[in-house]
Amino acid sequence: MGSGARLTASRSAELYQRALELMPGGVNSPVRAMRAIGRDPIFVARGDGAELVDVDGNRYVDWVMSWGPLIAGHAQPDVVTTVTAAARAGTSFGAPTRAEVDLAAEVVQRVPGAEMVRMTSSGTEASMSAIRLARAATGRDRVLKFAGAYHGHVDGLLADGGSGLATQGIPASPGVTAAQAADTIVVAWNDRAGVERALGEHEPAAVLCEPYPANMGLVLPDEGFLRFLREATTAAGALLVFDEVITGFRVAAGGAQDRERVMPDLTILGKVIGGGLPAAAYAGRRDLMERVAPAGDVYQAGTLSGNPLATAAGLATLRLLDAAAYERLEVLSRSLGQGLAEAARGAGVEASGAWTTGLVTLFFSRAPVRSYADARACDLDAHAAFCRGMLDRGVYMPPSQFEAWFPSLVHSDAHVDLTLEAARDVLGELA
Ligand code: HOZ
């Protein structure tokens, strides 16, 4: 690690060649591939706090942090100890455990809109299940989502999706039926008139949004937009569903709904709730959640839901997230977000920064980014060159303009300084 270092990659290259023969694109999730920045993926050997070591022995400051779960860092000692103890007691039972009750209680205590919780293994499952519940509760089929938002790879929610779909330029995936596509209404983020129109024309079961969209880069809501969504959905008889897979327990103890004081009917959670192991959940109003089987008739299930290792990791992580932790995360995120924007300005590169507690993006666009269309208009070649240069200097940032950086509690001021020094260097070359 260190500014100016050039990396070796022979073991990564060798593994990638083998992987290409065995797995589509050589990876198990497209966002890992690094095709959008014109290079091969880096194979990781281990994580250490806020740093990654690859199979060639190169060390990086990690700003991806497994795409969000690792708010407490790689191999955090409390998490490792708790998970190890849980594993010794058995890795899965298919029967209820005390840890599930404890984790559900933590969620209900922290997340304002969560009166009851159902755990799943992935955010995709949680999104799919929340939508099923919204449809059952309202007797309506359609769902309104926003362009550039990503809610996992649920068939009907892939339209105009952010994250890997945006990175690969896939506007609508083959394999989604016409009926599923027809039930999805897509509106531009921050477009009040578009939402009003769609609510009137389509009578959706739910408006589904990431309250702070972070799968097209971080695109914060305009002032009052979330409150507008709350009022407009109530008036239209639709549910408001917040996908807080990324923002949950990250931007504040109770997620974006806590920060913005806007209460959704249902909330989708993931990433931090599993502390780096596979766990997610959906939660919400008691009257809605009691429709879920076996309390009610809306079926949803999972062999590994509430898995003892994942619940142990989630609980250990949540217990580290006190008020001081969020203060630290805010200061760190501001230093990084503002520092990157200043570095771009200093180098004369057209860029605009976006940041909130625990999330940062540098858009290669002169104008502030308010929508997916704005994000797509960024200079993607410049972003790719920036990213390659940062990797060469030991900074592992998201290899896509359509993803956010994930500051954590274990990033130090020195990590930020090293990152900004590398950024000034690379941006200077780009200019
Ligand atoms: N949702 C994550 C970032 N946008 C990435 C998960 C994945 O697709 O692998």
Got the DSSP string for 9-45? -HHHHHHHHHHHHHSGGGSSSGGGS-GGGTSPPPPEE
Which protein residues touch ligand 1 with a CB less than 6 Å away?
29, 31, 67, 150, 163-164, 215, 403
150 assigned to active site: yes
Taking CA atoms only, the protein residue closest to ligand 1 atom 9 is 29
Å from CA of 165 to ligand 1 middle: 10
Beta strand 59-62 pairing with 395-396: parallel
Confidence band for 18, pLDDT divided at 50, 70 and 90: very high
Considering 271, 326, 372, 379, which one is annotated as catalytic? 271
Q: What is the mean pLDDT of residues 263-269?
A: 98
pLDDT of residue 137: 98
Q: What is the pTM of this model?
A: 0.97
Tokens representing 211?
């309250």
Q: What is the mean pLDDT of residues 302-329?
A: 98
Peptide bond just before 294 cis, omega within 30 deg = yes
243 assigned to active site: yes
Out of 23, 27, 28, 29, give the residue to mutate to test ligand 1, the one with the largest number of ligand atoms within 8 Å of its CB. 29
Average pLDDT, the chain: 96
Confidence band for 37, pLDDT divided at 50, 70 and 90: very high
Å from CA of 215 to ligand 1 middle: 8
Out of 150, 153, 165, give the residue to mutate to test ligand 1, the one with the largest number of ligand atoms within 8 Å of its CB. 150
The string of pLDDT tens digits covering residues 125-156 is: 999 999 999 999 999 999 999 999 999 999 99
End-to-end CA, the chain: 24
Confidence band for 172, pLDDT divided at 50, 70 and 90: confident
Q: What is the mean pLDDT of residues 78-103?
A: 98
Rounded to 5 degrees, what are φ and ψ at 187?
-125, 155
User: 117 near 292, Cβ under 8 Å?
Assistant: no
